Amino acid sequence: MNSSQARPTATVFLTVVVVVAVLRLAQNLFIPLALAVLLTFLLSPIVARLQSWHFNRLVAVILSLCLALTLVGVVGDVIFGQFSDLAHQLPQYELHLREHITHVRGFLRGGITDSLDAVDRLAVQIERLSPVTGVPTGVQKVEIVQPRANLFELAKDVVGPLLKPLGWALAVMVLVAFMLLRLPDLRERLIRLLGPRNLQATTAALDDAAARVSRYLLSQLLINSLTGLWVGIGLALLGVPNPGLWGALTLVLRFIPYVGIWIAGAMPFALSFAAFNDWMHALIVLGIYGSVELFNYAVLEPWLYAARTGVSPVALLLAAAFWTWLWGVAGLLLCVPITVCVVVMGKYVPHLEFFEVLLGDEPALEPYQQLYQRLLTSNRDEADALLEETLQRHSLREVCDIAIVPALRLLEADFARGGMKAARRRAVLDHFQQWVDELLDGLQRSNSRGVSWQSPSVLCVAAEDEGDSIVAKLLAAVLIHQGISARVVMLERVEEEIAAGESRGLDAVVVSALPPDAIPPARAAVRRIHACSQSLPVIVGLWGLDRDFDRAVQRLGTVDVSLLETRVAACVEEIERLRQTPGSGSRQSAAQGSPSAVPGS
């Protein structure tokens, strides 16, 4: 890395360190601000919906805040009312709790308890043998008596701890109100601050962040509400005291990632342990929480999070640990929205791209890079699994262009530079060859379209080596999959295949050549084909050669080439168009009807 590249990296790293230090030192300022932004994201869709119903923005903001405060008040009233009722009932459960503790001590008496008793007896013996260092006689004992607290000190002790959260709550409400009222103006000022020169990218970044965070918060609120309702109903049917309290706490605490649901479940579990004289009720409570969380993970979250937040699970876990260290419980509550915003910044700001790579849920490597990496490490099973997974998301012709052909190009480029030994190249090519042969065999066995193998309409010819042969087989497989009869022939047998094919209506010959050393063998193959037939269309596939396409056209201008293609999907489309064109046996008609025709052909 040269100095010009290292300087921006060092600047970005230093900026990140300074920002983290400022966030840590000024957390009393930034935590209410972050909470206000979070609630603004949550309430802004409601304000927008009310405005679409022709409400004034001020009225829409007031109604949204009243709705939010009403929900918070209802949940808070349920929690505090139920908790007060529980506090009065706790003495009734003391007998059951003592019995369970006695049973537990009985289970442990044969092991841990006896060991602890032995340690206690040994400590007593040691204390007897040690010299006495008591309090000397004649020294008076002094007892410090605290003076009775006055009314001001009592108020300070009671109200003092509540001032900070109450101040935060008031600041958050005021900030949310002003942010919702002035949201368009704040948005424009933020665009001016971040990047007025690139208005489109800045606007897209803000829209992306707002959409992801709002979608996450609304989906999480819905899931938490359903979870709290299910838990409340389940605990009520089980007979656990105060089920409304535990349902409301589940709704609130599940906003804390990973641990919130189990913190909420630990309290009714302990209560059921004390309220009933058996262990089954406590285990059923755990089953209720475990089943509902499994249902959320397997059904609700994939359904409601169809458009993902863009953060990988591992990154979210690390982000939760980081923000908890930085801001405590408030950081754990805010970690997902803040991490989503950081990932969006990495997506749209070039110098912060490493955030998207480290934290995003998109694959860090392209499909062809993943495939090549697995083959380099001899993980053939993983390579096959990757290809099968890619085939489930894309068609066969697309997989050729986004995975297989680019991976072959990387292989040939590394070998041409001398960065790979011939034995390793041979091993990778053998795996590609095996996979393509199995693909062709499978297509031949499941030939549901009645494609003729004995009378092909397209011949796929490898220009020189095994890499060219692999792509030629891939092209033949794609053509057969599209219902076009095709066959792969060796260059040594191309004359007899053309002679036999012209009498049966052969449409075209495709010469497969894989860079970097592709043009000389492709040119020699075209000359050999034209020596057999001057009227047969010849298509040259220089697979993946996008940068030097114009130069390749000039170098192939000395031979008659109907079409020059660089992608398998485009080549198949041109062959389909060629077969549908009247008089498709003419090379000239193919050249005139294709945008990829080589000048002079």
pLDDT band at residue 62 under the 50/70/90 scheme: very high
pLDDT per position as a tens digit, 64-89:
999 988 988 888 887 788 777 777 77
- The pLDDT assigned to 112 comes to 54
Q: Average of pLDDT values for 49-55?
A: 89
Q: Is the pLDDT of residue 92 over 80?
A: no
Q: Is the pLDDT of residue 229 over 70?
A: yes
Q: Which carries the bigger pLDDT value, residue 125 or residue 212?
A: 212
Distance (Å, whole) CA 572 – CA 590: 13
pLDDT per position as a tens digit, 491-521:
888 888 888 776 677 888 899 998 888 888 8
Residues of the chain with pLDDT > 90: what percent? Answer: 8
Token pair for 171: 């600041």
Q: Average of pLDDT values for 344-354?
A: 80
pLDDT band at residue 59 under the 50/70/90 scheme: very high
Distance (Å, whole) CA 407 – CA 425: 12
Domain 370-592 annotated CATH 3.40.50.280: yes
Compute how many other C-beta atoms are within 10 angstroms of the C-beta atom of residue 65.
18
Q: Is the pLDDT of residue 185 over 70?
A: yes
pLDDT band at residue 585 under the 50/70/90 scheme: very low
pLDDT per position as a tens digit, 518-576:
888 888 888 888 888 888 888 898 888 877 777 777 777 767 787 888 899 999 988 88
- The pLDDT assigned to 593 comes to 35
- The pLDDT assigned to 234 comes to 92
**Angle between the N-to-C axes of helices 367-376 and 380-393, in degrees from 0 to 180, rounded to the nearest 10:** 160
Least confident of 257-271, 426-440, 441-455: 441-455
For 286-331, give the secondary structure using H, E and C.
HHHHHHHHHHHHHHHHHHHCCCCCCECHHHHHHHHHHHHHHHCHHH
Q: Is the pLDDT of residue 104 over 60?
A: no
- Helix, strand, coil shares of the chain, percent, nearest 5, are 75, 5, 20
- The pLDDT assigned to 65 comes to 92
Cis, peptide link before residue 350, omega less than 30° from 0: no
- The pLDDT assigned to 227 comes to 92
- The pLDDT assigned to 591 comes to 35
DSSP E strands: which ranges in 445-533?
458-462, 486-489, 508-513
Least confident of 316-320, 328-332, 448-452: 448-452
**Angle between the N-to-C axes of helices 494-502 and 519-532, in degrees from 0 to 180, rounded to the nearest 10:** 50
Token pair for 137: 């006689």
Q: Is the pLDDT of residue 486 over 50?
A: yes
Residues of the chain with pLDDT > 70: what percent? Answer: 78
- The pLDDT assigned to 307 comes to 47
Residue 541 has phi, psi (to 5 degrees) of -105, 105
Distance (Å, whole) CA 94 – CA 273: 11
Contacts for 112 with CB less than 8 Å, ≥ 6 apart: none
**Angle between the N-to-C axes of helices 329-348 and 313-327, in degrees from 0 to 180, rounded to the nearest 10:** 130
- The pLDDT assigned to 259 comes to 83
Q: Is the pLDDT of residue 63 over 90?
A: yes
Q: Which carries the bigger pLDDT value, residue 541 or residue 350?
A: 541
Do the beta carbons of residue 569 and residue 576 sit within 8 Å? no
Domain range annotation of the chain: 3-82+164-359, 370-592
Q: Is the pLDDT of residue 149 over 60?
A: no
pLDDT per position as a tens digit, 387-414:
888 888 888 889 999 999 999 988 988 8
- The pLDDT assigned to 594 comes to 39
Least confident of 207-216, 560-569, 581-590: 581-590
Mean pLDDT over the full length of the chain? 79
pLDDT per position as a tens digit, 289-326:
999 988 888 787 777 654 456 787 788 888 888 998 99
Distance (Å, whole) CA 151 – CA 415: 86
